[in-house]
Amino acid sequence: MAQNDTVTRILDTAEVLFAERGFAETSLRTITSKAKVNLAAVNYHFGSKKSLIQAVFARYLDPFTERFHRALDELEAHYGDQAIPLERLLETMASSVLEVPAERNSLKVFMRLLGLAYSQAQGHLRRYIQEEYGSVFTRFTALIRQATPELPDSERFWRLHFMLGSVIFTLSGLDALRDIAEKDYAEHVTVRDLVRRLRPVVVAAMQAPVPAHLSYASQEV
């Protein structure tokens, strides 16, 4: 039991430190000392710092993808060969994300990690996530495609990333933004509040009119 305890204590400490300061800015010594664990334990249990980073992600993404796949299964079963409405797809994604770290209060850590995965250099991380979890994203985008048949493929591709940016950017910078919001508007915002606010925005964005010039050849304004 004690050996497993070391592993989880490392993971618990590493994930909050990574989320706070990034990967390169977090040293193994900072992690191990705060986790009250010997320095060599990381290399013993994980092999390298890179592998530790990947393990931190796997602990969130594994349960998420499993849950998300199951939820999509149910949706598909319910709608048969009809297209699943966009709102339902977005809700399903949101609740799958929200449910994963429900036990801990670490949703914000999860989102911050996702933001870092995109923004930090760490080429190995992007490769790892793509190879390990790319399929669920592919499945999701295929369903989104059926839900928005009026959009050209490339336009939908870009809009999905616009919205991904909204979510990741806002939620991963939540702490700083929340401080401002509390000071200026005297309201305390939870992650769930933000998700509620995001939904109508994302739907409206996905359904915005397609500029005419995009349907044909590109043209100057």
Partner DNA sequence: CTAGATTTCAAACAAATGTTTATAACTGGA
Partner DNA sequence: TCCAGTTATAAACATTTGTTTGAAATCTAG
**Rounded distance, CA 127 to CA 114, Å?**
14
Taking the least distance from each CB to DNA, the nearer of 40 and 214 is 40
**Site residues (vs its own copies, CB under 8 A):** 20-22, 24-25, 115-116, 118-121, 126, 153-155, 157-159, 161-170, 172-173, 176-177, 180-181, 184-185, 187, 189, 193-194, 196-205, 207-211, 213-214, 218, 221
Is residue 119 a contact point for DNA (CB under 7 A)? no
In 3D space, the residue among 61, 77, 214 whose CA is nearest the CA of residue 143 turns out to be 77
Contact of 11 with 62, CB cutoff 8 Å: no
Amino acid at position 97, single letter: V
Cβ count near 169 (within 10 Å): 15
**Shortest distance, CB of residue 91 to DNA, whole angstroms?**
39
- Single out the segment in contact with DNA by CB under 7 A; choices: 45-53, 57-65, 173-181, 195-203: 45-53
| Residues ≥6 apart with Cβ < 8 Å to 208 | 159
Taking the least distance from each CB to its own copies, the nearer of 42 and 167 is 167
**Shortest distance, CB of residue 107 to DNA, whole angstroms?**
26
Is residue 20 a contact point for DNA (CB under 7 A)? no
- Any idea which residue has 């290399």 for tokens? 43
**Rounded distance, CA 100 to CA 136, Å?**
16
What is the chain's Cα-based Rg?
20
DSSP for 15-28 reads HHHHHHH-STTS-H
- Single out the segment in contact with DNA by CB under 7 A; choices: 27-35, 69-77, 87-95, 156-164: 27-35
**Shortest distance, CB of residue 19 to its own copies, whole angstroms?**
10
Taking the least distance from each CB to DNA, the nearer of 50 and 69 is 50
**Rounded distance, CA 50 to CA 61, Å?**
16
Is residue 33 a contact point for DNA (CB under 7 A)? no
**Shortest distance, CB of residue 7 to its own copies, whole angstroms?**
26
Taking the least distance from each CB to DNA, the nearer of 1 and 204 is 1
Cβ count near 115 (within 10 Å): 20
Residue 49: contacted member of DNA, its own copies, none (CB under 5 to 8 Å, by partner type): DNA
Q: Under the rule (CB under 7 A), what is the footprint of DNA?
A: 1-3, 5-6, 26-30, 37-45, 48-50
